[in-house]
Amino acid sequence: GHVLAAVFDVCLTALRLPPAWKVSTTVLIHKKGALEDINNWRPIALSNTVGKLFCSLLACRLSGWSSANGLLSEAQKGFTPAEGCLEHNFLLQELLDEARRRGGELCVAWLDLANAFGSVPHSALFAALRSAGLTADQLR
């Protein structure tokens, strides 16, 4: 643990990562259906394990910073350490029960955007992080 922490500290101080941490090999895993249809294949990126640990550390720090600074919506439940799905399920059940008690109707919609994260330009993500208070050094 201490060796990894020292390596990570050097990376953060120097604002540099080992080149091997930035390289991955992508393999295709067949999901189902016709082998000829590219939509039936899932790309999986195989990356350096230490590099993934470093990225996880940064993600954890960024999530903590975002939460501490009130930057996440209360409705945001995905990709958070809390059991957000359970909270949403509980809320839905309560709304259904209330609609039944009143003899009313309830309209519910779930929205799942395909490739939502991948479709946002990186420049927009960096602009949002800058406006939230991250410095240029923190963004490098």
In this predicted structure, which of 1-5, 120-124, 132-136 has the lowest mean pLDDT? Answer: 132-136
Residues 79-105 have a mean pLDDT of 85
Q: Which two tokens stand for residue 44?
A: 């999986």
On the 0-12 / 13-18 / 19+ scale of CB atoms within 10 A, 11 is middle
Q: What is the pTM of this model?
A: 0.64
Domain check: are 48 and 90 in the same one?
Answer: no
Query: Which positions ≥6 away from 32 have C-beta within 8 Å?
Result: 40
The domain total for the chain is 2
pLDDT tens readout for residues 4-31? 999 999 998 888 899 999 999 999 999 9
User: 15 with 66, same domain?
Assistant: yes
Report helix, strand and coil shares of the chain as percent, to nearest 5.
50, 10, 40
Domain of 85? 78-108
Check whether residue 103 and residue 37 sit in a common domain: no
Same domain, 47 and 14: yes
Q: What is the tens place of the pLDDT at every residue in 62-90?
A: 888 888 888 877 777 766 766 667 888 88
